[in-house]
Amino acid sequence: MIRYWVQFAKTGNPNTQGLPVWPRYDTDSARYLELGDEIKTGAAYRHRPIQILNRIRDSDR
């Protein structure tokens, strides 16, 4: 994690050699980096609950 932060502070991009690529977030793919015992990428993190909250928010407008 520290290497990601140092690289981000230096360049504005957390990616560096020797680490899995931290994907750029966009709302279409909702890709993310999971930091745990293993570092891995995923997509659509908690997509269903977020859809429900967005629907509730939009219905109040």
Per-residue pLDDT tens, the chain, 61 aa: give them.
899 999 999 999 999 999 999 998 887 888 888 888 999 998 877 777 777 888 888 887 6
Point out which residues pair with 32 in neighbouring strands.
Answer: 42
Query: Is the pTM here over 0.85, yes or no?
Result: no
Q: What is the pLDDT of residue 15?
A: 96
Give me the half-sphere count of Cα atoms (radius 13 Å) on the Cβ side of residue 11: 8
